[in-house]
Amino acid sequence: MTLIDQGALLALSISVIWALTGIISAGTARALGGMRFNRLRITMVAAVMVVIAAVLVIQQGRMPSWTQFGVLSLSGFAGIFIGDTLLYSTVARLGPRRTTMLFATHAPMTALLGLALGEVLSGRDWLGIGLVFAGVTVAILYGKRRDQLHVWESVQGLLAVGVLLGLGSALAQAVGTIIANPVMENPDLSTRPDPIVASAIRVSVSAVALWLVMLVPGPWTPTPAQASAPLTPRFLIVIGLSGFLGIGLGMTLFLLALGMTDAALVATLSSMTPVAQLPLIWIITRQRPTLLAWVGAAMAGLGTALLLYQVT
């Protein structure tokens, strides 16, 4: 198996990990609010990852350069602080299925950002981008039956606001990927930062930012009901497991995959989460997703496959 194949396999596994994370987090994120949930989640992960990163730095005898630290901090601020906060705010409003469909747009957004930076997109690329966005639209607007009563299919607040939050999370993730890519794809392995150390930097900066922003009242402030919701042992377990899977494992594998293969390939395969999540939701809720939910996921999958074909 080549290094590119290993990177592709890692990227594909990330989609399954993130599918599980969205399902695990849905109920707790709604109870605590997206901001409070994400602040606790990232703080837990940061505390563990800083210790692990410190051990690795001592063992390896080298630290990331100040330039790398700055780039990775900026990447974490965009991709985790902004991206994850908007993501779990979307989960709280729209549930895991709609959220993952919206988040799948980070692959074509990454491609479009590459276009803005001077890359050239072919007709196949544009078709892939169009299919992803069309698939997301179909799944969001028409992917629910009238008889589906599970709480995950309910919408809290305006659907349009939830959609905008989801698209914002995808854009922030795409920006974070583009920013981190030069550092993690550095051909000089002797100066490339360890993926775990890099992930610890991104998460730690995001944790600090989340605590600082809570000092300023705003639309991100949890409602009184969310702020007063007790942190039960079940909530703490869910928060910790969500953080371990989504950030500790998922984002570390994401950075590792970036060091093995092309950023567009990583973004494409990791965006297969909507396809991976549908059978999981079916198993857990015992409610079969609608035909149009499958159609939307298939369209998004085909679109990502077309993007993948261009970079392999």
280-298 residue pLDDT tens: 888 887 778 888 888 888 8
Amino acid at 289: P
Q: Which residue has tokens 């730690």?
A: 204
State mean pLDDT over 100-117: 80
Distance CA 56, CA 227 (A): 37
4: pLDDT strictly greater than 60: no
Range of the domain at 279: 3-311
Total number of domains constituting the chain = 1
Q: pLDDT tens for residues 137-187? A: 887 777 666 666 566 667 788 888 989 999 999 999 889 988 988 887 776
d(CA 267, CA 107): 5
Q: Which amino acid is at 213?
A: V
Separation of alpha carbons 292 and 101, rounded Å:
12
pLDDT in tens, 215-234: 877 666 777 877 788 889 99
User: What percentage of the chain reaches a pLDDT higher than 90?
Assistant: 15
More confident residue, 78 or 291: 78
| C-beta separation of 6 from 262 below 8 A | no
| pLDDT number for residue 312 | 42
Question: In whole numbers, what is the pLDDT of the chain averaged over residues?
Answer: 81
C-alpha 250/C-alpha 169 separation (Å) is 16
